[in-house]
Amino acid sequence: MSFKILVINPGSTSTKIALFDGTQQVITKKIDHLPHELSKFETVLEQIGFRTKLITDTLSENNFMLSTLDAVVGRGGILKPIKSGTYLVNDKMIEDLSTGRAFHACNLGAFLARDLAKMGGCRPFVVDPVVVDEFEPLARYTGSKHLERQSIFHALNHKAVARVVASKLGKKYEECNFVLAHLGGGISVAAHKLGKVIDVNNALDGDGPFTPERSGGLPTGQWLELIDSKEFQKSELKKMMVGNGGFMSYLNTTDNLFIEKKIDEGDAVYKEVQDAMCYQVAKEIGAYSTVLCGQIDRIILTGGLAFSQKIVQQITKRTQWIAPICVVAGENEMEALWLGGKRVLEETEIPLVYS
């Protein structure tokens, strides 16, 4: 049976949509939001109506009727820790997204799916939100009883890419062990053991390698001294960790294409900073290889930065002795959302209930 599924992926400055009819992606659009448009809203949640109208206008321009939809699937937000899967958007999910500690644009996915599904008379879902938590007990320890490691990572792309690679190996995802590195604005490196992510760095707020915009793990003692110095406000310190860290801190840009242009022109500073990021990613891959006791089917590199031959080569030369390297460049998030909805509609997967 052929299903019509609308997929929505809200970001901080854009909303990506895709309409799948059967296996065909018949509409795809990235709707950019200009700074002056978003400045009208004090909070991210106030943007729901604005973004909903832009989506419905786009569908109308393509002569598509919402009433023909079978499902709407949105990107999952920062919820309480949950297991991997496709979730029906319910009142509890909406409540937690409305009152949670983190107001990232990804939180809008459930709201947009709910509202558009209501217009179309179908069911709204989210798939593998960033808070998917499958940690084994030892992974939760930090070294202080007051703090616990959290699972916050690019779960949607991790799970989708891992399934693709497993299929290419002629196996099920649940039969494989992978170390998978998502390389983008944020970087998450995870140990996938027999279909579960049993350990991963917190890719949101200060853990793992530095990235184009994030600091990654910082030396705790020096960080405390910086806090005690009162030189920076809490909001400024947070921005150092997420937004102004990594490439942005050292090079005042997050644009890897620009950085590689400077490298090609012979700029040694740009090269060293990019090499340092790759060095840290490779170290993280090595660390997560120990989590799997070296029993690894593939090391997988994915995300936008995996399009860079320079980055892939730097990481590969340090890690290829551990296991064969597989590169699946890009984020693959729209297809992953579609597949999650499709599995539920085909009844090969039971939708989960958030509580």
User: Domain 155-330, what architecture?
Assistant: 2-Layer Sandwich (3.30)
- Residues 161-176 have pLDDT tens digits of 999 999 999 999 999 9
pLDDT at 102: 62
All residue ranges of the chain with pLDDT < 70 are 100-102
What distances in angstroms separate CA 304 from CA 81, 107, 183, 195, 250, one per listed residue? 26, 21, 6, 23, 20
Q: E strand or H helix at 51, and its extent?
A: helix 48-61
Cα(209)–Cα(216) distance, rounded to whole angstroms? 5
The model's pTM? 0.91
The predicted pLDDT at position 100 comes to 67
The pLDDT of residue 204 is 83
168 is written with which tokens?
């290419």
Same fold flag, 4-129+334-353 and 155-330? yes
User: Which residue from 114, 95, 105, 99 is spatially nearest to 52, judged by alpha carbons?
Assistant: 114
What pLDDT is attached to residue 101?
60
Comparing C-alpha atoms, which of 13, 58, 48, 15 is closest to residue 34?
13
Q: Phi, psi (5° rounding) for residue 286?
A: -60, -40
How far is it between the farthest Cα atoms of the chain? 63
DSSP-derived secondary structure letter, 153: S
Q: Where are the domains of the chain?
A: 4-129+334-353, 155-330
Class of domain 4-129+334-353: alpha beta
